[in-house]
Amino acid sequence: MEFSPDIWRKSSRSASNASCVEVAVTSERIGVRDTKDRDGGTLVFTPSQWTGFLTTVRERAES
């Protein structure tokens, strides 16, 4: 799935060294890619998969 170039966002907490990921959010899909290798592939999630991922990350960060 292709995402429009203007919807990709990088965290405001990211350092300027490009060692991070970017996220593109639409109503149907969420894309995640490596900032250093934007053409290297994109992980694509449904909104429910993305929510599950974020929930798990938050739970593990709190423990």
Domain chopping of the chain, boundaries: 5-11+18-62
What distance in Å separates the CA atoms of residue 45 and residue 53, rounded to the nearest whole number?
A: 9
SS3 assignment, position 48: helix
What distance in Å separates the CA atoms of residue 5 and residue 12, rounded to the nearest whole number?
A: 18
Give the pLDDT score at 43. Answer: 95
For the entire predicted model, the pTM comes to 0.80
What distance in Å separates the CA atoms of residue 58 and residue 13, rounded to the nearest whole number?
A: 17
Give the pLDDT score at 13. Answer: 74
Q: pLDDT below 70 — which residues of the chain?
A: 15-18
